[in-house]
Amino acid sequence: MENLENLFTHHYNTLNMKNIYKLLTLALTLTIITSCERDQGEYPYLDRDITIGFRGASGSLLVENGASNIVSATVGASTLVNSDATFSVSVDDSSTAVLGVDYDFVAGQDVTLASGNLLTNIDIVADFENSTVEGKTVVLNLSSNDPSLMVSEAFSQYTITLIQFCPINADFTGSYTLSTTATGIFDSVVFLNGAVTIDMGTEPTDRVMSVSPYPEFGAFAPIDFAFSLVCGNVIVPTGQVTGVGCGSSTTIGPAATAGTYDSSDDSSFTIVISDDEGGSCGPAYEAAFTLTKN
């Protein structure tokens, strides 16, 4: 009986090992076939599409007189390419900058993503004379010239804003005296005359100061009034809320003419504003004041 049981066990183990061997042989054969197919030269990306797209959605360039004025839009791939791949950029109709007038492509609109790389740049050079302090936009669209490169819809467009910039040689910060030279609504001063402190803003050209609005109407909470120093002009952003008004708050914005400054002399400069630009209390008034360094 024991011999019969040993014989049965030996026979079962032998059959089991044969089945395992067959399965391993089949798996190895499939692996070899698959590897041979994927090693063919006509599949440079190993049968896998690569996705490309802009890194980010927007950028800007401060266009300076005499500078190189080159800005890059970076395009990235989802994985390394095994051979050179090409794609193109076109200019969207929504752009306000004009190709060949306001800017040019440094190396054309057809771009190569070199083998072994994840990133490449599209460079444009801007023209200072045709730039504006308000800024002009270049909206780029990405398209692929290679069947193995797929463009990510979410990252297929990139906007570059070209802004005219002039270096500011003086500081234009610190203690100043504000003096009204032209009144606003109801023939009143817009900001309290007297000492104010000017601080740097977000960008190198931006400045901000805390001022009390409409002192002749009452004691109101100070507001942060912002302005920018751009190529000799003092630019006032629109929609600056005063917190005071006739049913709704007045806002302060740019006037038809801008105040001026001397880039090398921060001892004094002027600011011109549109007081109540939205008409909370009636027609908007062009008000102005001078700032003199203490």
51-93, pLDDT tens digit by residue?
999 999 999 998 998 899 999 999 999 888 888 888 999 999 9
| Residue 14 resides in a domain | no
Residue at a domain's end among 165, 195, 229: 165
Instruction: Assess whether pLDDT exceeds 90 at residue 241.
Output: yes
Amino acid 34: pLDDT:
39
Are 142 and 251 in a shared domain?
no
Q: Residue 25: pLDDT above 70?
A: no
DSSP annotation of 127: -
Amino acid in position 19: N
Separation CA 132–CA 165 (nearest Å): 9
Grouping H, G, I as helix, E, B as strand and the rest as coil, residue 217 is helix
Q: Judge whether 20 lies within some domain.
A: no
CA-to-CA separations, 52 to 75, 162, 206, in angstroms, rounded:
7, 25, 36
Mean pLDDT of 239-266: 95
Higher pLDDT, residue 198 or 1: 198
Burial-class residue 11 by CB neighbours within 10 Å (0-12, 13-18, 19+): exposed
Taken in order 70, 169, 228, 226, the sign of the CA dihedral is positive
Instruction: Kindly state whether residues 118 and 188 are assigned to the same domain.
Output: no
The residues, ordered by sequence, that sit 6+ positions from 30 with a Cβ below 8 Å of its Cβ are none
Q: Strand, coil or helix: what is 38?
A: helix
Beta bridge partners of 175: 197
* Segment among 98-112, 139-153, 214-228 with least mean pLDDT: 139-153
For residues 83 and 145, state if they share a domain.
Answer: yes
- Given a cut of 90, whether residue 149 has pLDDT beyond it is no
On whether both 180 and 127 belong to a single domain, the answer is no
Q: Are residues 84 and 105 in the same domain?
A: yes
Regarding whether 198 and 110 lie in a shared domain, the answer is no
- Tell me how far the alpha carbon of residue 36 is from its chain's centroid: 46
Alpha-carbon span 190 to 252, nearest angstrom: 9
- Residue 45 in this model has a pLDDT that exceeds 70: no
CA 132 to chain centre: 18
* Alpha-carbon distances, residue 259 vs 134, 254, 284 (angstroms): 15, 10, 17
Same domain, yes or no, for 76 and 155?
Answer: yes
Tell me the CA end-to-end span of the chain in Å, nearest whole number.
116
Q: Locate the DSSP E strands across 166-294.
A: 174-182, 194-200, 206-211, 223-230, 233-235, 240-245, 249-254, 259-260, 268-275, 285-293
Sorting pLDDT into bands at 50, 70 and 90, what band is 13?
very low
Does 136 map to a domain?
yes
At a CB cut-off of 8 Å and minimum separation 6, what does 36 contact? none
Q: Kindly state the percentage of the chain with pLDDT values over 70.
A: 84
Residue 203 or residue 159, greater confidence = 159
